[in-house]
Structure formats: structure tokens, C-alpha cells
Amino acid sequence: MNELKIFAPATIANVSCGFDVLGLCLDTVGDEMIIRKIAEKGIKITKLVGQDLPMETDKNVAGVAGLTMLEKLDLNHGFEIEIYKNIKAGSGIGSSAASSAGTVWAMNELLGKPFTAKELVSFAMEGEKLASGTAHADNVAPALLGDFTLIRSYTPLDIIKIPAPSKLYATVIHPQIEVKTSDSRSVLKQNISLKESIIQIGNLGGLISGLYTSDYDLIGRSLHDEIVEPLRSILIPGFKEVKESAIACGALGAGISGSGPSIFALSKGKEMAEKVAKTMTETYKTLNIDYDVHVSKINSKGCRIIG
């Protein structure tokens, strides 16, 4: 096998109460990539469709992630990459993570899987470091492992995959505005109170328990962000209205996807998730802001071969 065409999924990071440690994998939105072996050593990006991003290997997250993986291998050949971006850069649903994770996952498949999925996370994180300045794993981990993932520790890296209840669906709306990751990071407090941390820890524990036990009510009660959302939401026009309308419609809960501007909601069942999508879009129609909207079950596998 010398070539693969793959689906590299979008992801939702933080999931309200798990800033930088929790993420989930989407199933109906993602990039497509073709990775093939070539005689020349190294990584080449030969095609990039859909977004205006650099094709130089050392300036593209896919190239950086792939090169990091190659450093651990003694190969007499290299790889070339074609990237078909369906996830808009800066959307808050893991555009850079999809490219980073997809590259190392496909390379690993073509090489006969010398690394586990969890081992691939550290390579993909280097792509994230190029994109945001921080080697975070809350998008690349679910993209590689599927379902929900919890990063228990970054040093050493310790990742737990958490199965999603079968009827859990995500709705994501992406207003066509730009929120720079640097701006969304700059509004955060460097210190939080003991009271805030207790509330956040309780909700994170509740959410994880709800996922394991398929307790949808507990999942809904736990989708609360005490620390980050109050600060970041001011950067997203219509956030409060969208969130309130989604919950009033029947969503379990809603919040900011990653650093925004996308807003996610979780629902029990596809029918409710689609109803929530309609409600969320109506808010942005009244604000005259263009948007994309996606409804997806939780992807249990992560990256996958297509075509």
C-alpha cells in the first residue's frame, strides 16, 4: 500500500468544562487528504484546496507534524500530501488539528502502524504548536482516537478515551466572523479563585460520569463553564442568544467550541440536534451574520480511510 485517501475529522475542544483537556470527534464534517509514499526523503505538500494556507512544509501544520514523526523513524523514503480543506481555518472546530492528525495517522497506516494512536498524538501536537503557539492535544487527541478524550496529564502525556452515549449528537454553528486564537487567549485570567475551580472540577467530573453511564440529564447539568466562557463569549456576537435558544429548544447544553467563534450544542437524538440547528440559525439570520451549521453524531473512530 503506497497511497491512502482519508477523512480527517473536525473536533470540538474544551466542551464547556474541560478547558485544554477535553475534546470530542465529529463525524460529518472534516477534511479529505491523500498521502502517498515517494522515493525522496522528507515531506512534500503538493496540493492544497479550499483554504489559503502555506504549502511550505515547515510552515504548514501537516508538514510539521509529519516531519516530527519522521524524526523517530529511519526511512529511505518520504511522503507527499494533498489536502482538501473543508474545515475553515479559525472556525473553532479543529482545522489545524485535522491536518496534523490526518497526516500522522495516514503515514502510520502506510508504514504498518509502528505507533499506537496515543503515540501519534505527540507528533500531531507539534502541528498545533505551529498554529497556535501551544502544543495542546484537546483537538488532535479526539481526531486520532475518536469519541471523547480526556488529557489527564501533559507531562507525561496521559490520554483517556471516553465512549460517547449512542444517542448523543452535536450541533455546531460557525458564524462567519474571525476570532483570532491569540485574542481569545489574551482575554483569559491567569489566576482563578478556589470557588471557580471547585465548580469547574465538579462539572468536569459530572460530564465524564454522565458519558460513561449514558445519563443525558447529568451531561446537560454538567455542560457549564465557570472560567473561560464568561470571558470569551464577549468576542462572539449573538452568543448568549444562540446558547439560550438552543437550550430552550431542548439541547442538553451549549457552549463555545474551542476558542470560537463556533458554538456547539449537545442533544439526545438526531431529530433534536436538527431542531436545535434550525433554532441556532434563526438567531444569526436576525443579526444578518452568515453562518455554516453542522449536525453530527459523535465519531467513535477518528480518522478513517475513504474512497
Which residues, at least 6 apart from 178, have a Cβ–Cβ distance to it below 8 Å? 90, 261
**DSSP code for 58:** G
32: cell is 479529505
End-to-end CA distance of the chain: 14
**3-class DSSP state of 288:** coil
Does the annotation mark 181 as catalytic?
yes
Number of C-beta neighbours around residue 282 at 10 A: 14
CA distances from 139 to 42, 121, 144 (A): 25, 10, 9
What stretches of 163-249 adopt beta strand conformation (E)?
168-175
For residue 105, what is the enclosing H or E element?
A: helix 95-110
Name the CA dihedral angle for 245, 248, 253, 259, rounded to a multiple of 10 degrees. Answer: 10
Give residue 33's Cα distance to chain centre.
17
Which of these, 77, 68, 133, lies nearest to 101 by C-alpha position? 68
How far is Cα 54 from Cα 141, in angstroms, rounded to an integer? 24
Active-site option among 32, 126, 128, 229: 128
Measured CA to CA, the distance from residue 211 to residue 16 in angstroms comes to 14
Element holding 185 (H helix, E strand) = helix 181-186
Pairing of β 168-175 and β 3-13: unpaired
Catalytic residue among 28, 57, 181, 281: 181
d(CA 81, CA 8): 13
Catalytically active residues, by annotation? 128, 181
